[in-house]
Structure formats: C-alpha cells, structure tokens
Amino acid sequence: MNTIHVGVCGWGDHYDLYTQGVRNQDKLSVYAGHFPIVELDSSFYAILPQTHYQTWVRETPKSFGFIVKPYQAMTGHQRGEAPADRRELFRQFEESIQPLVEAGKLKTLLFQFPPWFDCTREHVQYLRACRQTMAAYPVAVEFRHQSWFEPRFREKTLELLRNLDATHVLCDEPQAGKGSVPIVEAVTNPSLALVRFHGRNVSGWRDPGEGQKWRDVRYLYKYSEEELAEWVPRIRRVAEEAQEVCILFNNNSGGDAVGNAKQFMKMLGVDPVGLNPRQLELF
C-alpha cells in the first residue's frame, strides 16, 4: 500500500491543538507537529503576497505539503462578477504560489467548483482551460453539482479528469439535492488521490436557518467511529491505485476536525514522520 497522509482544512481555528495560548503566528508551526499536510483556505479569499507563502515554508518541515485552493474568482464563486482579464488573474495567482512550488511543498491545487457549476459543455470547456493554464502544477477537481455524477455522465466525468491528468476528489458530504455529490470511489491520477470529509449535516448544508452564519453551521458535524470505519476499506482500495492519498477533514464548525482526523489516523494505522518537534505533548 502506498503513502497515506491525514490533515485538516486550515490551521487557525483548531483550538484543541493550541490549549496553551499559542500565538496566531505560531499556530502553523504547532500544527505541523501533528499533521504532515494542510488545506490552505485563505488563498480562496484573496491572491496572497509571496511573503505569506515564504513564511509558511519556513514554519513547516521539509516534507510538509499544502493543498492550495485557487482564488474564488478563478472557480466561478463570484457569481455574476466575472473578472475583466481572467488570464491576468491566473498569472497573479501562479506568481503568488511560487515559494511553495520552489520548496517542493505544493501537493496540489484544489479547484473546488461551486454548486451551480453543473455538467454542461461550457463548464467542461472552462475546466479544460483551467487545466491548460495550470499545466505546470498538479490539479485536483471537486465538483459540488450532482449532475457530474449522474449515471449518464459519471464515467464521462471520470474519463475527462483522467485525460486532464487531474485528481478526482472523493467527498463525504451530506446528500442534500443537486448541490451535493455522492461518494464516487475512483482514482483518476495515479500520482495522487484526495479525500475530503465535510460532515453529514444535511439541514445545515442546504440552509443554515434564519440568523445563522453559513460557515458556523454547514460543517457542524462529528463523525462516529462507525461512520469512519465505512471509509477504511475505501481508503485501502484507493491507496492500491494511487501513489499518495491525502485525506482532509473539513468538519470544523464545532471543532471536530482534529479529533476525527487523529481518530482516523489510528484506524488506518498511519503514523506520520518528519513532523515539527512538539514542545508540550498535551493532546
């Protein structure tokens, strides 16, 4: 079986890792004493200066890896606000991530498309254009519209990703209509498989309710041991086909991502090496 890495999405809000009042600027270094990978979410909200990436390279060990989400305007999340010059936007983003690339710490670019990005000819063409523009880098694709995996399109979608040399993202998420995708166990890139656990909060996924913030509710979920156990044989099968499997827990609205990630590591028998040293072992 090939390499399996487990981590979580972001490093700032996982308070059970920072019980001793760790300063914000020290959190990534502490995080990297527990996990070998992380999903970088702040890149989704802005094209960050290179100095940010340079700092993060210094704060993490040599083997540490970042899964980086491209800026939201690159994946169509700013609905109705298409950028005037998309090529320039991609160029700026590419330039910003170069410190990670040069340090060998970029695992993949995670193109997560919005729920309204459905399976149409126009969107297939746009996906091809994204891949062509980012041809120099590993790319993973996560869909949020169910149409991509309807019976008539499922195999065509997977074949498209294979032809693009892109990683299909396996998702565990609420089954809440068209704006969610089923578990599709498939490897489209033999170099890397990516799995993301979003929780199973069906009501929060669709509509957080009046007076509630979307991000506070959508990922509010704690996986049971039985639910994680469902995934152990899946991960084993995926790891037979992919050289590396990266697993990310995104269920942190209630602070459960770290606990579930560590629990799953034990269930898989994963013991990461090359982490930052831990000064205080309290977790």
Q: How far apart are CA 53 and CA 229, in angstroms?
A: 36
Give pLDDT tens digits along the chain (283 positions).
Answer: 579 999 999 998 888 888 777 888 999 999 999 999 999 999 999 999 999 999 999 999 999 999 999 999 999 876 555 555 788 999 999 999 999 999 999 999 999 999 999 999 999 999 999 999 999 999 999 999 999 999 999 999 999 999 999 999 999 999 988 989 999 999 999 999 999 999 999 877 765 444 445 566 778 899 999 999 999 999 999 999 999 999 999 998 778 999 999 999 999 999 999 999 986 544 4
Q: Which CATH number fits domain 3-268: 3.40.640.10, 3.20.20.410, 3.60.150.10, 3.40.190.10?
A: 3.20.20.410
Question: Which two structure tokens, joined as six digits, stand for 44?
Answer: 């989704």
The helix/strand/coil state of 28 is helix
Residue 21 backbone class (left: φ over 0; alpha: ψ -120 to 50; beta: rest) = left
Q: Beta 3-9 vs 139-142: how paired, if at all? A: unpaired
Q: Where are the domains of the chain?
A: 3-268
